[in-house]
Structure 1
Amino acid sequence: MTRPLLICDCDEVLLHMVRHFGTWMRERHDMHFAYETGSFVAITAADGSPVEPAAAFAMLDEFFPAEMERQTLVPAAAEALAAIARQADIVILTNLGDHCRDHRITQLAAHGINHRVETNRGGKGDPVARLVAEYGPSVTVFVDDLAVHHESVAKHAPSVHRLHLVAEPAMAHNVPPAPFAHARIDDWEGARDWIVQRFADNLPADTEGMPA
């Protein structure tokens, strides 16, 4: 009998990122990142002028992997994954370049999280579909903080249950529920229970009520 499968994002799901990225940008570039707005490009220079989105994304390549040690564990995340791993396979699907994969594995292991890590660029629907085909799970749950990835998974792997989780409290209240997710839960105790219940139900995701 095949096991269930959990496919889980990392940044702002398992590890806090934006608050530490903001601190680093202030220290390194004298810029202010208003991450609590929920916008990744809400960045201003020291003179108050807005920073172009391209420059903001370029700074990510400075932060990863050199500054990854700044990141901290989301409360109850490691404990939830340990409990889920007793009955399911787990893959961490993270949108980082391939050159960051070993760094992410080491980083997660330092927090007691030792599961397969896959890096990705762009939408996560295709890699989720490939993982489902590879594992042949009885049921699959996908967890991510970004609505765009829930939409991508809904398109390419509609039978997968999709949980929207934004772990940064200062940002979560400004981020609306992802339209293509089946549920929104921002803490790992609640998320663990929701995931385990999907496994227990052993049914594919219900596509009714999802946006066209």
Structure 2
Amino acid sequence: MLDFPTLDHVLLKDRPLVVCDVDDVVLEFLKPFEAYLEARGSKLLHRSYRLHGNIISLETEAALEDSVVSGLIESFFEDQERWQTPFAEAVDTLQALERDADVVFLTAMPPRFAEARRRLLDQLHLRFPMIATETPKGPVVKALHAGRTLPVGFIDDMAHNLHSVGEHVDTCLLIHMMPDSVIHRMAPKPADHVRRANDWPHAGEMLKAHFIASAV
């Protein structure tokens, strides 16, 4: 069983809360990961929304074993500071939101890579509290929000994370935001109650409107 993350370092003020995923939401993951693979003699095939089973050796064209793929993902996270960059307007939008709300990063990754991610986010002037965990996100957001009556929003690129949060925090504004790629277009679609953001400025507008509507 995975350990529930420690939340003691997240100190919320008496204002709205924005919880945000990191990979392929704030930081690009797919494109730099593909470049990382090719630098190591491998390639990601765009045939389904999976990494395992879809990464091949450029030399033999054979699919890499799952354990090898897992190792490549972990080594990428170890080296993420050299590869990952933010999406357009992600930094500016999050910094603008922080004037009216607490922002917390909830990143789905093994906690042992949290230090490297923290350094990278700090370099980008995104010094918001961060939680790195492989546990379901719904219970984490529920524990963070702790039944407050203040507005809360959650941004993620994966339907199952959005659904998890919606099941545990029924007042949460759920925002689906993901890159436009062949692989992402094959991803499971979120339910109708999840709203789709076209880009970071659009997500920022939806969150601000949610804050205003909740205050009425």
Q: Which runs of 5+ in 2 are unaligned?
A: 1-12
Partners of 2:144 and 2:164 lie apart in 1 by 14
- CA RMSD between the two structures: 2.3
Q: 1:154 is aligned with what amino acid?
A: G
Structure 1 residue 198, shift from structure 2 partner: 1.0
Q: 2:62 is aligned with what amino acid?
A: S
User: Structure 1-normalised TM-score?
Assistant: 0.85
Partners of 1:32 and 1:169 lie apart in 2 by 16
Q: Give the structure 1 partner of residue 45 of structure 2.
A: 34
Structure 1 residue 35, shift from structure 2 partner: 5.4
Report the secondary structure of 1:72's partner residue.
coil
Superimposed CA distance per residue, residues 138-160 of structure 1 (whole angstroms, 9 cap, x where no aligned partner): 11100001111112112222221
Residues 164 and 181 of structure 1 are in contact (CA less than 8 Å); yes or no, is this contact kept in structure 2? no
Superimposed CA distance per residue, residues 112-132 of structure 1 (whole angstroms, 9 cap, x where no aligned partner): 211001111132111111111
Q: Which runs of 5+ in 1 are unaligned?
A: 204-212
Residues 80 and 116 of structure 2 are in contact (CA less than 8 Å); yes or no, is this contact kept in structure 1? no
1:60 matches 2:83: no
Partners of 1:171 and 1:181 lie apart in 2 by 23
Q: 1:71 to 1:116 in 2, by over 3 A?
A: same
Q: Give the structure 2 partner of residue 189 of structure 1.
A: 201
Residues 162 and 194 of structure 2 are in contact (CA less than 8 Å); yes or no, is this contact kept in structure 1? no
How many residue pairs get aligned? The number is 201
Partners of 1:182 and 1:158 lie apart in 2 by 12
Q: 1:82 to 1:104 in 2, by over 3 A?
A: same
Structure 1 residue 31, shift from structure 2 partner: 1.1
Structure 1 residue 98, shift from structure 2 partner: 1.9
Partners of 1:116 and 1:103 lie apart in 2 by 14
Match of 2:164 among 148, 152, 155: 152
Q: Give the structure 2 partner of residue 17 of structure 1.
A: 29
Partners of 1:99 and 1:180 lie apart in 2 by 35
Q: Give the structure 2 partner of residue 101 of structure 1.
A: 114
Structure 1 residue 68, shift from structure 2 partner: 3.0
Q: Percent identity?
A: 23
